Amino acid sequence: MPETARRTDRHSATRYGNRPTMKDVAARAGVGLKTVSRVVNGEPGVTPETEQRVQEAIDALGFRRNDSARVLRKGRTASIGLVLEDLADPFYGPLSRAVEEVARAHGALLINGSSAEDAEREQELGLALCARRVDGLVVIPAGDDHRYLEPEIRAGVATVFVDRPAGRIDADCVLSDNYGGARTGVAHLIAHGHRRIGFIGDMPRIHTAAERLRGYRAAMEDAGISVADAWMSLGVTVPERVRTAAEEMLSGPEPVTAIFTGNNRVTVTVIRVLAEHSRQVALVGFDDIELADLLRPGLTVVAQDSAALGRTAAERLFRRLDGILAGPERLELPTRLIARGSGELPPAD
């Protein structure tokens, strides 16, 4: 039992199980440490015979290089961090996957964590990742003050913000055209004859929510429609609040005939409310939703490409690591209106 034998070694019992190191391989092959390093890393300058001896020792011992040690010496960890809101949210899955693919193409691993939309937890996670010395950081902001990352960025952690801009620091960010997308979506409803159009969105302190509201206002103003306060509702996107907001807009003497929803969570709740509603109400939602085409009517949306957001951010991150970028930039990705039926319903006046 070589297993038991090794356990009795000087000091290897609890450290990484009891794995052999390059030193062990060198001893067994009767060569120097550096020669093992050469073989393991495929560096030239080793005779075939020596290489074979080393390889045999590697196989016999079951050696696998400890990248954790390698990384310490080399200075780059070949890993990047991704701080997002919630990995379980379907919007972030494709984004995270896209970041991962870019990282993979650059030989890096991806460490990700969810902030749960909590600013403190975002900071805790971001700094923990920096302590691990990730080479770069992709952050989907939960908080609105990112000065805590300034020393890290200065120290060389390539950082790109996605979906929402960084707060109180100047940094790269990749956003969707929230303003333009919402404006187009609302204009679409107006083009189909609506004038009393409701807007239900997320808390106004969230950048995307504010921008989408701004797009709504702009579209309405473009059409010369003055917006009633009762048509706008911003707040947390929990079902209860959204339901109440929708029901209020849909009641009274002058109910809205169409609703523009500010994100996927709001949209889902409003679809449920409308399903129970007697009158037909048009609906356009920000964010696409799986199976949107199977609903009756099909759901018309302003879609953002979450994978493209992730890919763009990660590519920028690695270009920054390669040192080929100048100052911070703000990139904006287009959205796309997808008409499927719900946004083309006429006003039920």
Partner DNA sequence: CTGAAAGCGCTTACAG
Q: Which stretch binds DNA (CB under 7 A): 10-18, 144-152, 154-162, 256-264?
A: 10-18
Name which of 10 and 296 has its Cβ closer to DNA: 10
Give how many residues touch DNA by CB under 7 A.
32
**Interface residue with DNA, options 7, 16, 244, 332 (CB under 7 A):** 16
Which is nearer to DNA, 39 or 83 (by Cβ)?
A: 39
55 binds DNA (CB under 7 A): no
Q: Figure out which of the listed residues 5, 42, 73, 290 binds DNA, where binding follows CB under 7 A.
A: 73
What lies within 8 Å, CB to CB, of 198 at 6+ separation is: 231, 232, 233, 246, 249, 250, 256, 258, 259, 260
* Residue 238 binds DNA, judged by CB under 7 A: no
The span from the CA of 257 to the CA of 192, in Å, is: 11
Q: Return d(Cα 13, Cα 19) in angstroms, integer.
A: 9
Alpha helices in the chain (DSSP H): 2-7, 22-29, 33-40, 48-61, 67-74, 92-105, 119-131, 150-154, 178-191, 207-222, 239-250, 264-276, 306-321
Percent helix, strand, coil in the chain, to 5, is: 45, 15, 40
Q: Which is nearer to DNA, 45 or 252 (CB)?
A: 45
- On whether the CB atoms of residues 165 and 255 are closer than 8 A, the answer is no
User: Which residue, 60 or 348, is less far from a copy of itself as judged by CB?
Assistant: 60
Name which of 135 and 202 has its Cβ closer to a copy of itself: 135
Does 22 contact DNA by CB under 7 A?
Answer: yes
**Smallest separation (angstroms) from DNA to the CB of 45:** 4
Instruction: Answer yes or no whether residue 168 interacts with DNA by CB under 7 A.
Output: no
Phi, psi of 347 (to 5 degrees): -65, 140
Rule CB under 7 A: which residues touch DNA?
A: 11-12, 15-16, 19, 21-23, 31-35, 37-38, 40-41, 44-47, 49-51, 63, 65-66, 69-70, 72-74
